Amino acid sequence: MKSLIRVWPWLKPYWRYAAASAAATFVSVVINLLIPIQTARVIDQGIAEGDSAFVRRTVLVMVGLICLGMAFAAFASAMAVRMAFHTVTDLRQDLYDHAQSLSFGNLDRRSSGELLTRLTSDVTKLQAGLTMGVAIVSRAPIMLIGALVAIVSLDASLSIVALVMLPFVGIIFWYVVGRSGLLYDAVQTRLDRLNTVLQENIEGAELVKAFVRQDHETERFDEVADDLAQQAIAVNQLVASLMPALIAVASFGIAAVLWIGGGNVIEGSLSEGNLVAFISYMVMVAMPLIMFSFLQPMLTSAGTSMGRIDEVLSDLPEVVDTAAGHGTFTQPLPGDVMFDGVSFAYASQDDNSQLGYALDNINLHIPQGQTVAILGATGSGKSTLIHMIPRFYDAITGVVSVGGVDVRNQPLDQLRATIGIALQVPRLFTGTIAENIRVGRPDASEESVVAVAMAAQAHGFISELADGYQSQVEQGGANLSGGQRQRLSIARTLLSNPDVLILDDSTSAVDLETEVRIQEALEAYEKQTVILVAQRISTALGADRIVVMDHGRIEAQGTHEELIAHSRLYQEIYESQLGESIS
């Protein structure tokens, strides 16, 4: 429950809604507390004395009070809903913005399914908890206190029954609330896992079918779904037992009142009307407890969800923009890239400890205007190396500089605006092809869009589409081939006109002829520095210099001729890929 306190910064701007809801609820409860008194008057002064006019007048008063109470209760609910929706909308936006600000290292330790659950399911549970919480928390204590005061005023000795009932209620609540909090956290954790498996299977549908893994993946999904179901059953069974237990305690209390109060009526120390009113107030004592039985699972679930949301909000970005707000940064050599003694290791997802070095003492200078190819097998550190340039990660030791200045001393927005990256697995957004190319420059002219598409060898297939550049891209680019997606990614990167152009194996899905045409277009395209990350040696042959990496180290660098003559690793790559023996 303490986690719910953390929602205050988002609730604070809308405290007036909460206050209005609480005030309206107070009036509604006070009106409801007057009803049993009117009932007693009808019985003792109207029915007992045979005064039908008094009965009619009092009943009309009761009807008016009931309608007025309903109006205030409806207004209170409307204010609570407004408060909750505005609060969680702001919280969801801040959570999304914070998730966007997290570094690659932060995101490596959280699955996309986990973040999706916290942005959707957890926020929704918090919203439900806030809506019901304001309505019930402001109503139940007032009703409970008011009903207890009324009971004591009617018959002090008989009120002992109600007071004896309360400790039993407290014990039941203490047990259920304490136990269910842990269970709700386990449910949400399993929901994270379910969403992750579901997302992996949807995104990897082609792979699943290609390797005939449907049965295996179905079993895996069934396993996590069953685990979620079992945990959800456990918590809901526990919560479901709360209301029957409270109703049983309240029923025993009312039975005791009838036993003792009935005797008092017979003895003449208590009127029939007051006994009926007393029982009504006993019901009102029980009602807040039953309300809390509804509210308890919502509040516990909301508290658990807020704690999970707070985990993300408390996760500080590993890459901090320390140079932001220090004015415009001017680079003397905008395309000059330097690695000086750079080492880096990824953190373990389990305990945040460092894994083995992905980069180990890298020293590399890429002068302005040069085209350099980074060659190596999968896992050699190629992608990690180029991710250090735009500060997707920060080096553990050493310095990465662009334009002669440490990247950590440059504003992130300005640094990344000078660097363009086309990834091997491009990410496309729903929208038109033109909108996807314009991601980095929304105001780019149609002529510029067509020019970069032609350079990326994408103009041909775009022109063949029914709507050309206005053709819709489905989610993830599902209606495009891998090579088409890669070419759109290259066009998008070229449109930003970067000082440093990085192609991270971004032509792996295109044929060699198309790759050659793209490289020829890039040579004629206005550029500063080009870094080609490749596994295919054919991609690297046209570079000014080739850097060969293996297990996070630079094993050799030089021109093709120099490496053929002096690098055994390069020779092995050349022979294995091109089938030509080095004599």
Our CA angle for 195, 188, 428, nearest 5°, is 30
Task: Report the residue count for the chain.
Answer: 583
**Token pair 């957004």 in the structure block, residue:** 429
Instruction: Decide: 33 and 150 in contact? Cβ < 8 Å.
Output: yes
Q: Is the backbone of residue 547 left (phi > 0), alpha (psi -120 to 50) or beta?
A: beta
Q: What is the CATH superfamily name and number for domain 2-313?
A: ABC transporter type 1, transmembrane domain (1.20.1560.10)
Instruction: Decide: 348 and 355 in contact? Cβ < 8 Å.
Output: yes
The pLDDT of 433-447, averaged and rounded, is 90
The pLDDT of 343-366, averaged and rounded, is 79
| Residue 294 pLDDT | 65
C-alpha distance from residue 427 to each of 204, 390, 421, 441, 487 (Å): 14, 18, 12, 16, 12
Return d(Cα 220, Cα 137) in angstroms, integer. Answer: 42
Instruction: Decide: 461 and 468 in contact? Cβ < 8 Å.
Output: no
**Residue 470 pLDDT grade (very low, low, confident, very high; cuts 50, 70, 90):** very high
DSSP state of 122: I
**Residue 331 pLDDT grade (very low, low, confident, very high; cuts 50, 70, 90):** low
**Residue 361 pLDDT grade (very low, low, confident, very high; cuts 50, 70, 90):** very high
- Please tell me the pTM assigned to this model: 0.68
Tokens of 194: 């379910």
- Digit-coded pLDDT (tens) for 159-200: 887 778 777 777 777 777 667 766 777 777 787 788 777 777
Nearest one of 304, 311, 303, 300 to 115, comparing CA atoms: 311
Tokens of 495: 């449109």
- Digit-coded pLDDT (tens) for 196-231: 777 777 666 656 666 667 777 788 888 888 888 888
Phi, psi of 342 (to 5 degrees): -85, 130
| Residue 356 pLDDT | 75
| Residue 341 pLDDT | 95
Neighbours of 228 (CB within 10 A): 19
Number of H-type helices and E-type strands within the chain: 21, 12
- Digit-coded pLDDT (tens) for 30-44: 998 888 888 888 888
| Half-sphere exposure in the Cβ direction for 184 (13 Å, CA) | 26
Instruction: Decide: 411 and 495 in contact? Cβ < 8 Å.
Output: no
**Confidence check: pLDDT of 359 > 60:** yes
> Does the CA dihedral 510-514-520-522 come out positive or negative?
negative
SS3 583: coil
| Residue 256 pLDDT | 81
Please report, as a single letter, which amino acid is at residue 168. F
Return d(Cα 392, Cα 383) in angstroms, integer. Answer: 11
| Residue 450 pLDDT | 93
Return d(Cα 1, Cα 10) in angstroms, integer. Answer: 17
Instruction: Decide: 562 and 546 in contact? Cβ < 8 Å.
Output: no
Order the strands of the 545-550 sheet from edge to edge: 419-422, 500-504, 529-534, 371-375, 545-550, 553-558
Nearest one of 574, 109, 81 to 375, comparing CA atoms: 574
Q: In terms of DSSP bridges, do strands 337-347 and 472-473 run parallel, antiparallel, or are they unpaired? A: unpaired
Rg (the chain; Cα; Å)? 35
The pLDDT of 424-450, averaged and rounded, is 89
Tokens of 346: 């990824």
Return d(Cα 305, Cα 65) in angstroms, integer. Answer: 39
The pLDDT of 403-407, averaged and rounded, is 89
Q: Where are the extended beta strands (E) located within 179-243?
A: none
| Residue 298 pLDDT | 74
C-alpha distance from residue 283 to each of 240, 255, 318 (Å): 20, 11, 56
DSSP state of 521: H
Helix or strand run (H / E) with residue 472: strand 472-473
Tokens of 547: 């850097």
Domain ranges of the chain: 2-313, 419-497
SS3 519: helix
Q: Which position has the higher pLDDT, 526 or 155? A: 155
Return d(Cα 98, Cα 100) in angstroms, integer. Answer: 5
Q: Which fold has domain 419-497?
A: Rossmann fold (3.40.50)
- Digit-coded pLDDT (tens) for 515-569: 778 877 777 665 578 999 988 888 888 888 999 999 999 999 999 899 998 888 8
- Digit-coded pLDDT (tens) for 363-390: 999 998 888 999 988 888 998 999 999 9
C-alpha distance from residue 389 to each of 173, 370, 407, 528 (Å): 56, 16, 7, 15
Instruction: Decide: 161 and 111 in contact? Cβ < 8 Å.
Output: no
| Residue 531 pLDDT | 92
| Residue 433 pLDDT | 92
Name the CA dihedral angle for 115, 131, 228, 174, rounded to a multiple of 10 degrees. Answer: 120
Tokens of 239: 């919560």
Nearest one of 327, 376, 388 to 547, comparing CA atoms: 376
SS3 554: strand
Tokens of 514: 């198309």
